[in-house]
Amino acid sequence: MGFVGYNRKIIWHMSKIHPVLAKEMRAHPNRRIDVLVTLKEGEDPASLHLNFYKVLMDNVLSSTLDVEEIVELSKDDQVVSIEKDAEIGIL
């Protein structure tokens, strides 16, 4: 699915996608991106059916997804937010 051709429903779900990640998706629509996924409290990460993920905290996990997978994931009601696994540095 091309990121450019999203419909209104997708736009609604896009609110779960962090602006920095959305910018990355637009800039690199064919690239796989390291992401952080936050679930609602008590939800089971396994139910997301991701091919690869790592649970960081009970409701925060990391994964590497392409743009299409990110958009699909954002439609899941268990998902609260999807963000880029951003680089952080010393201050």
Residues that bind other proteins (CB under 8 A): 18-20, 34, 36-38, 54, 56-60, 62, 80-81, 83, 85-91
CB 62 within 8 A of CB 52: no
Closest contact distance (angstroms) between CB of 71 and other proteins is 18
CB 37 within 8 A of CB 53: yes
Q: Which amino acid is at 44?
A: D
Between 50 and 80, name the residue whose CB sits nearer to other proteins.
80
Closest contact distance (angstroms) between CB of 9 and other proteins is 21
Closest contact distance (angstroms) between CB of 2 and other proteins is 26
For residue 44 the two structure tokens come to 């089971």
Q: Which residues pair with 57 in a beta bridge?
A: 60
